A and B are shown apart, each in its own frame.
Chain A
Amino acid sequence: MEKVVSEAEELPKAIVRRVVKEKLSECSPDYDFNVHKDALLAFSESARIFIHYLSATANNICKESKRQTMNAEDVFKALEEIEFSEFVKPLGASLAEFKKKNAGKKVDQSRKMRRKRRENRGFICRKRNQNQAKETG
């Protein structure tokens, strides 16, 4: 099967669909709302264009500050500029939560790894003893 390289990366349809349907069931909890296939595509496309729009704006702000790397501050300023300032607060909260969870995760990961290694060592020792016992016994 020939792999078609799409010109533009798209957002995963399943996730877009989930976001939309969850909101719809919130809007009308009494009855089921359906989403037409074309409408889903339109949602995906719109989101993609939004990323481009926000990205370009943030990039300009970044360049104006004579920096090379687009950072969080640039994105926040960009949101204000494109009149999506109501996003700033929830985004800030989301970022803070992500950082917190990520920090905790790192500690947990290393702890888990150490425990795993200990367990494996114990298991190997036990196995070795068993085998030895079998041979001598």
Chain B
Amino acid sequence: MDSNKQAQSSSYPPQPTTFSITHPPNSAAIAGTPPVPFHHLLQQQQQQLQMFWSYQRQEIEQVNDFRNHQLPLARIKKIMKADEDVRMISAEAPILFAKACELFILELTIRSWLHAEENKRRTLQKNDIAAAITRTDIFDFLVDIVPRDEIKDEVGLGGMVGATASGVPYFYPPMGHPASGGPAGPGGMMIGRPAVDPTGAMYAQPPSQAWQSVWQTAGADDGSFASGGSGGERNLDGQG
């Protein structure tokens, strides 16, 4: 009976106890049942498994290499076609755009990171990106994306981070109109920052803390923000 059982078990390869059979103390007790054929079978299976998995890995790696474009070509094409002037695009174009986009994001990341490092931060914030855009000439086409209020340090407000929002609705004074909607304090003062949108239409969000702190301290530092003094070299074609 014992030998029958042993003979049976040797024909069922995938059992949890198979590993013990490679060091066969029991099969040695089996009279006349050679452990070698089964051993071969097991080895074969293991080899096949190994081959299977290494092939799978190769496949995956290949796909990853190819997909280093990452950005979906169809989406890029849609974005391009949002411009009605753009009609027909060759098949290569979206591929180039995908890579160009990636390189662009890398550039922007590096420059934003620099700004964050300068301010001893370890979190990349929107104002870092804003600074990168401001500092880099070739990023001029992006000036419209980030509202002026994000560019805190440009106005020399270094330590003004975290000014509390008083909740008072401030309006960006259009150029030439001295503080039409502002508080009484800074009365006739003009905020001389070039590229402020005179219509104020671009800024849907209420002015951020940076601007409020400007107003709040302006009473004390009257005239410190002389018109046109800061960043006069900035490109005024913000709307262009």
Task: Answer yes or no: do A and B interact.
Answer: yes
Chain A residues packing against B (C-beta within 8 Å): 8-9, 11-12, 15-16, 18-20, 23-24, 27-28, 31-36, 38-39, 41-43, 45-56, 58-59, 68-72, 74-76, 79, 82-84, 87, 90-91, 94-95, 98, 101, 105
Chain B's interface size range is: 35 or more
Chain B residues packing against A (C-beta within 8 Å): 62, 65-66, 69-72, 75-76, 78-80, 82-83, 85-90, 92-93, 95-97, 99-106, 108-110, 112-113, 116-117, 122-126, 128-130, 133, 137-138, 141-142, 145-146
Taking CB atoms, residues of chain B closer than 8 Å to A34 are 122-124
- Tell me the total A-B contact number using a CB cutoff of 8 A: 175
What residue in chain A is nearest B144 (Cβ atoms)?
A49
Whether the pair A35, B124 counts as a contact (CB closer than 8 A) is: yes
For the complex of A and B, list the 7 residue pairs with the smallest distance between their C-beta atoms, beginning with the closest. A69-B88, A34-B123, A71-B90, A23-B109, A38-B126, A9-B78, A72-B92
Whether the pair B70, A54 counts as a contact (CB closer than 8 A) is: no
Contact of A51 among B80, B122, B123 (CB under 8 A): B80
Whether the pair A54, B126 counts as a contact (CB closer than 8 A) is: no
Contact of B112 among A38, A39, A90 (CB under 8 A): A39
Taking CB atoms, residues of chain A closer than 8 Å to B122 are 28, 31-34
Question: In the complex the two chains form, what is the Cα distance from A84 to B92 in whole Å?
Answer: 19
